[in-house]
Structure formats: structure tokens, C-alpha cells
Structure 1
Amino acid sequence: MIMRFLLVFVLLGSPAFAAGHGDLKPVSEFAGIEDEAARSVAIFEEMLKVIEHPRCLNCHPAGDSPLQGDDMHPHMPPVVRGVADFGAPGMYCTTCHSSENVEFVTGDGSIPGHNPWQLAPVEMAWVGKTGAEICAQLKDPERNGDRDLAEIHEHMAEDGLVGWGWDPGAGRTPAPGTQAAFGELTQSWIDTGAVCPQD
């Protein structure tokens, strides 16, 4: 029964994401910005094309439940993050999400999957925040999983769950660019001082 509800709601709620999030510019595109701080901000703003994409925001919600679909509607069936960001007892994320994407037999979509599959902790919520707020949060060990900047780069460039955003299965728009390009932007942002936007 749970799986039937999940299939119906994913199929009904996924219009194509079209909010100006196309391909990522390569790091070389920013070489002409002579002021290093301004270059760092410009690079971070390019990173926001990924960070603010539904593939990332859906798993970084401000509330107690994940979002889903390109339109970022509430997860159906209703679920909660639970004490470990892995769902409530009896309704863990893995109740429906396996270690890989599973296509519907109709070919109209898929159930997303990866191991692990879970929400980002609530202190890492991005939904409803400005780019400046997200940037400050990424640099704050108390709100980024106790990571330094090198570990932030590793997470963005190599983490498999982050990488799922570029291979999200049928029925979902992938994050722009590639994980490798996103990792290069992240490293360049760090190398130029990891400067945050002001607004």
C-alpha cells in the first residue's frame, strides 16, 4: 500500500524544473575577475545553481519532512525525519528507497535510491535561506557536520549521495553540470578565500 501511494504521488507531481539552472560554467570562466574576493563570490553564486536545485533542496528541508519532485512538494506518503534523519521507526527511508534508483514498470518515473538514503540534519537546512546564509552555514562547523573546508570540498566533489543529484533516475531533472565540475568550482571558491555573498 505504501509503495502504491509513493508511485502515484511521484508520478503526479514532477513538472520539469525550469528556473534558469542550466549547465555550470567552468572555473576558467571566472579568471577575468581580477578582484579575488569578487571572483570567490561569483564562483559561489555559480555553485548555487546546484545547491538551490531541487535535487539538493529536497533533502535539505527546513522542516521535519523531505520534499520531492522538481516542484518540491511535500513527500508522499507523509514521512518524518526521525531522531537520526533516517525516518521514524517502522517507516525508515529504506522502507521504500533501496540502494539504487528503481524504474516504474510503466517507464514513467522511478523511486530514487542510494545507500545511504537519508535527510541532511536540520541544522544543514537550505530551503528558504539566501545564498549568503547558505554560504555562512557551509563554513560553520557547528552547522556543516563539523567539516573544515577541505572536507566540504570532499563532500561536494566525491560523496555518492551528493552525486546522486546528477543521476536521479527517470522522472527527475538532474542537477546542472556534473559532480566533477561542481567539485572544481567548490575548490576554486575555497582557493579564492571562500568568500560569501552579502545579500
Structure 2
Amino acid sequence: MRKLLPIVLALPLAACGPSAEERAAGVAAFATVQQVFQHPRCQNCHIEGDAPLQFDAGLLHAQNVARGPEGKGAPGLPCSACHGETNPPASYGPHAPPGAPHWQLPPPDMKMAWIGLPPAELCAMVKDEARNGGRDFAALTKHVSEDALVLWGWNPGGERAPVPVPHAEFIAAFTTWANAGGPCPEG
């Protein structure tokens, strides 16, 4: 009787996925990503309900502002009624409505609400294409690297605190996390 030997296919090492060290570096990098996403500049608009928050304290937005059917404000009171394409000049005062291109909340069917989420849940949400607008890691990286509304978080104007992690450091951490396959912290 002939004995059959298993056939072993030689796969490139990259096809086996990230190494344990890369995954560990990715999890460590996600701590920086979490710090940015859960800063008021991001989480004031990434809300569970339909009323955005404002200021560093995350207070309920004045004027009964609502998300609206597309995330651009309620009919008759779009976000753009107060929020222009850029921050207003300092002469408008420290609490003038800030501005950036396409000022809006995420749409109601994809809220990406992450206030108070533990790291593992935030991580899972961010990389879940069913909950992030169909973005793979390349699209997510482009979004956090180039989108003018995202970039506004580092130049919020007025007396608003910018995201405390420098943008280049955030992008490096995000890229490390994404390149490792988006590993999530335990728990």
C-alpha cells in the first residue's frame, strides 16, 4: 500500500498575515488612534443620538440642532447655515461657529458613535465596513489623512483645544494599526 504525503504549498510570508510583533505594534498604535477619535474634536459629531455636542465639554448643541436625514442638519436648519467652509477670523470672537468644508455629522444610518466605547468596541466599529461607510483600510487611511473636516480637528479655531496628538503622529499610528490588519485590544 502506498502512503500519500501531504502537499505543502509555499506561500509568501506576507500571505500568512501580520506577525505577532506587528499585531502587538498595531494594538499599541490603536491607543493613539483611540485618543484622537475620543477627543471632543471628533466625538462631538460621532454621537449616538441626533443632536451634536459642542465645546470641549461636549455640551448639547444650542439652537436645537439635529442631524437631519443626511447628517447635514434638519430641513430649514442645515449645518452650513452657521458653519462656513473655513474658521471665521479671530475678530468674530472665540466662540464663533467654526468652519470646514462639508461641515456635517455622519449620516443617521452610519453614525459611527463612539463616545465612551471601550477600546475593543471602538476598534471593531472603525474597521467594520458595514458600519464605516464601506471603507477598507486604504479608504480609512485616506479619510483620516486628507478629509478637510477631519483635518479641522487640528486647527479648530477660537478657544477650542486641537487634537493633542500631532496629525503626523496620528497618521503614523493609524498606518501601523491598519498595516497590522487592524488588531483590536482585548476586552
Taking structure 1 as the reference length, the TM-score comes to: 0.78
Q: Secondary structure at the match of 1:35?
A: helix
Matched, 1:37 2:32: no
Bigger Rg over Cα: 2
Q: 2: CA distance between counterparts of 1:116 and 1:173?
A: 21
Structure 1 stretches lacking a partner, 5+ long: 1-33
The residue aligned with 1:133 is: 121
Note the 1:62-141 alignment, pairs <5 A: 62-103=48-89, 105=91, 107-122=93-108, 123=110, 124-141=112-129
The offset of 1:105, in angstroms, is 3.8
Distance of 1:128 and 1:43 partners within structure 2: 19
Superposed displacement of residue 107, structure 1: 3.5
Match of 2:172 in 1: 184
User: Post-superposition shift, 1:151?
Assistant: 0.5
Distance 2:94 2:128 in 1: 40
Aligned length: 166
* Secondary structure at the counterpart of residue 102 of structure 1: coil
Q: CA deviation at 1:57?
A: 0.2
Mapped contact 1:93–1:118 kept (Cα < 8 A) = yes
Between the aligned partners of 2:139 and 2:94, the Cα distance in structure 1 is 37
Among candidates 23, 33, 42, match of residue 56 of structure 1: 42
Cα distance in structure 1, aligned partners of 2:38 and 2:54: 14
| TM-score, normalised with respect to structure 2 | 0.83
Cα distance change, pair 156–106 in 1 and its aligned pair in 2 (3 A): closer
